[in-house]
Amino acid sequence: MDSQPIITIITVTYNAEKYVERTLRSVQAALSQVADPSPIEYLIIDGLSKDTTLSICHQYSSIISRIVSEKDRGIYDAMNKGMQLAGGQYLWFLNAGDEIFDSKALAGLLSATATGADVYYSDAMMVDESNREHGLRSQFTPHSLPENIQWTDFALGMKICHQAFIARKQVAPIYDISNLSADIDWEITCLKRAGRVQFLPFVLCRYLMGGTSVQNHRRSLVDRFLVLQKHFGTIQASFNHLRIFWRGAVFTMRRGRYW
């Protein structure tokens, strides 16, 4: 590729044969709607999968710029590798099971990058393993989504689905591989460093519910506190966590479930 890509899409996989093809198909469909796909780079970062993940990925080699398969120290280590290898100006993490929302979303994002913002973000559609839609994240969870977001809006936790958060590589920090809530820290730091942040009035992704932090819920709560403590201080983080638990309890009573 002669010129620098504008967007690098990064998919991290490990024994993801059950889900990875839905991600690959969505990228393929989105690329088909881009008049010139050369500004898009697509990386697969695999952790030495022992199932058929890699063979499935190789079936889509025409849309993949590079496949790396080597041992890693977890998802955030793999995401760091993806960042280091990315040649694009902007980073879009779309992990196994997640999808580009529809065939027009990538073209819309590519067009939006002409404004030169450091961060682009949107709402996300929540889906389950059967690909059934549960609603937009801002409606399905207690996390409302401001259209003029600032890093201080993260005082009560994650405001933007990570797969709907596109950051310029220059403002993106390295993920803390020891913290399950490193994605919150990453987004806050990106927003702190960003000169301009832009809300997109269309949905970027379909997010597969049940990620690492959901599966390790208790530890993720502790790690989230550490992230918020880092950015807001101990007293504010402690008070905010009381608000988080209260808000979650009220939301659950009204909706029957939190997530």
Domain ranges of the chain: 7-216
Enumerate the β-bridge partners of residue 136.
125
**Per-residue pLDDT tens digits for 85-127:** 999 999 999 999 999 999 999 999 999 999 999 999 999 999 9
Q: Which amino acid is at 192?
A: K
Q: Quick one: pLDDT at residue 157? A: 85
CA angle 38, 43, 46 (to 5 degrees): 165
Q: Quick one: pLDDT at residue 173? A: 98
Mean pLDDT of 189-209: 97
Q: Quick one: pLDDT at residue 55? A: 98
Residue 69 CB coordination number (10 Å): 16
**Per-residue pLDDT tens digits for 244-256:** 666 665 555 666 5
**CATH fold for the domain made of 7-216:** Spore Coat Polysaccharide Biosynthesis Protein SpsA; Chain A (3.90.550)
CA distances to 122, 141, 169, 178 from 84, in Å:
25, 33, 9, 18
The pLDDT of residue 1 is above 60:
no
Residues 6+ apart with CB under 8 A from 253: none
Q: Taking the model in full, what pTM does it have?
A: 0.90
The answer to whether residues 184 and 143 touch, using CB atoms and an 8 Å cutoff, is no
9-18, 158-167, 171-180, 203-212: segment of lowest average pLDDT = 203-212
Q: Quick one: pLDDT at residue 238? A: 85
The token pair at 219 is 């530890």
- Closest CA relative to residue 114, chosen from 151, 94, 91, 89: 89
| Phi/psi of residue 45, nearest 5 degrees | -115, 105
